Amino acid sequence: MNDKLNIEDIFKEKFENFSQVPQKNVWNYINRKLAIKSFLKFNLLNFNIYYVGIITSALIISGSIMLNSENNKITIKDNVQKEITTIQKQTENNVEAENVPVITQKDIKKNNSVLDNNQKVTNEIHSNKSIVDKTIIENVNNIESQNSIVKNENTTIGLISKAEFSADNYSGCAPITVNFTNVSENCIKYRWDFGNGTKSNEANPNIIFENAGKYKVKLFASSEKEDLIYERTIIIYEKPKANLIVSNKNDLFTGDEIYFTNTSISGNKYLWKFGDGTNSETANPVHKYEKSGNYSVKLIAISEKSCIDSSEIIKIAIKETKYKVSAPNAFTPSLDGPKDGNISSSDYSNDIFAPIFISDVAEFKLRIFNRRGILVFESTNPKFGWNGYYRNEISPSGVYVWECSGKFIDGENFSNSGDLTLIYSK
């Protein structure tokens, strides 16, 4: 077993903080990838000269395709070529025309029918030359695809619509405000469904998700032509509830063990801040304060999904031990008649009840009551305690309450109380 620990420890110790600077080319590679990525990410905001360039080159390429197809069309009659140029002109005009789709479609139909007729004619002429036929069909296809390319370009410039949104948080801890940013393109109307019963018509809504859960957020966007939906899931994790109980908040002294009980809900890890600069990660810690003073104790609970909650601050007052006033909680009075109440340090009989002081007291008042609230004993001398007798009769066994207050010789006030059990058997 010893060996096992050794091996693991050797490696763990050395590897824990092992680091090595990678070569510069690694960042260069990442940088290049990032540049490509951000370039390809189409965004109207950074619509720039590159996109204009791409569209222009697409136009040039399509233009040359058209030229090639014209060259190939030796066998087609002149009127076909005329038709092609008409299509070209019309489609070019259509770019600026208002009712683009309607006109274009009509024209295409018209042109196609003309082409069909011409094809038939040419088919008749070159019925034995299938290769030429194929060329014609290809040409017709070219013309058609040419139309669709031009149509696409029309829409690229102003008519492709896209529904999309981004959020500043796709996951988080409840309750959380999520700011949605609408990055839809060419849409007019927006409608949101956040999956939590909330709906909105705003363009960029901010929504509070109060409870944990998986929410399917839908954006319905309408352009002039179509209705689009974009959906993304937002995951909200449950927030823990940090809660604590202190064993005793009053009469705490330096060096006393203070017991903290963790009553948090759905916490996984904990951090206690005792206010004296020390922390603990124990679930239920025991803490001692070294110095007197007022401390603020706080518990931070962290859930499995790293959601955090802080408890309310608990104030704890710690007094110097020298001001501690304590008392035994039971005593056995002498059955042989009342003793005088003088306390002697050599008397271990436990016949007299009195509070115990560490420092000397200047003023002192002790009162003891029975269960009915009747004052059974009173003393102003700290060296003089109760012998258990009331009006020269031994008091019945049972529980009594004591109350003690006064002043230490250095002027510090004190007051304490407690219960005590009187025990005897005859």
Partner 1 sequence: MIDTEEIIEKCKRNDREAQKLLFETYSPVLFGICLRYARDKFEAEDTLQDGFLKILNKISDFNGTGSFEGWMKRIIINTAITNYHKNKKHNLNLDIEEIQETNIEGTSYNGSDYTAEELLKIVNTLPEGYKIVFNLYAIEGYKHKEIAEQLNIDINTSKSQYSRAKKLLRKKLELFSKIKINERQA
Rule CB under 8 A: which residues touch partner 1? 3-4, 6-23, 25-27, 29-31, 33-34, 38, 169-173, 302, 305-308
> For residue 142, what are the CA distances in angstroms to 119, 121, 152, 209?
14, 19, 15, 54
Choose between 167 and 314: whose C-beta lies nearer to partner 1: 167
Residue listed under structure tokens 């006030």 = 413
Minimum separation from the CB atom of position 52 to partner 1 (A): 22
Choose between 27 and 259: whose C-beta lies nearer to partner 1: 27
Minimum separation from the CB atom of position 44 to partner 1 (A): 16
Measure the CA–CA gap between 217 and 169, rounded to whole angstroms: 12
H helix runs in 126-162, sequence order: 130-158
Measure the CA–CA gap between 203 and 168, rounded to whole angstroms: 15
Measure the CA–CA gap between 98 and 331, rounded to whole angstroms: 105
**Strands of 312-391, DSSP E:** 314-319, 325-326, 330-331, 356-357, 361-369, 375-379, 389-390
Minimum separation from the CB atom of position 303 to partner 1 (A): 9
- Which DSSP helix (H) or strand (E) runs through 85? helix 78-96
Q: Are strands 375-379 and 361-369 parallel, antiparallel or unpaired?
A: antiparallel
Choose between 168 and 226: whose C-beta lies nearer to partner 1: 168
Is residue 122 within 8 Å of residue 76, measured between CB atoms? Answer: yes
Measure the CA–CA gap between 300 and 269, rounded to whole angstroms: 8
Minimum separation from the CB atom of position 191 to partner 1 (A): 25
Q: Are strands 314-319 and 252-253 parallel, antiparallel or unpaired?
A: parallel
Minimum separation from the CB atom of position 173 to partner 1 (A): 7
Minimum separation from the CB atom of position 234 to partner 1 (A): 11
Choose between 173 and 219: whose C-beta lies nearer to partner 1: 173
Choose between 281 and 378: whose C-beta lies nearer to partner 1: 281
**Kindly report the CA angle at 244 between 289 and 291, in degrees rounded to 5?**
10
Minimum separation from the CB atom of position 16 to partner 1 (A): 8
Minimum separation from the CB atom of position 7 to partner 1 (A): 5
Minimum separation from the CB atom of position 283 to partner 1 (A): 19
Is residue 244 within 8 Å of residue 257, measured between CB atoms? Answer: no
- Which DSSP helix (H) or strand (E) runs through 123? helix 100-125
- Which DSSP helix (H) or strand (E) runs through 398? strand 398-408
Residue listed under structure tokens 């008397």 = 347
Choose between 39 and 259: whose C-beta lies nearer to partner 1: 39
Choose between 25 and 346: whose C-beta lies nearer to partner 1: 25
Choose between 169 and 416: whose C-beta lies nearer to partner 1: 169
Choose between 171 and 397: whose C-beta lies nearer to partner 1: 171
Measure the CA–CA gap between 414 and 364, rounded to whole angstroms: 9
> For residue 179, what are the CA distances in angstroms to 104, 173, 194, 221, 370?
42, 14, 12, 18, 66
Minimum separation from the CB atom of position 49 to partner 1 (A): 19
Minimum separation from the CB atom of position 267 to partner 1 (A): 13
Choose between 304 and 419: whose C-beta lies nearer to partner 1: 304
Choose between 30 and 362: whose C-beta lies nearer to partner 1: 30
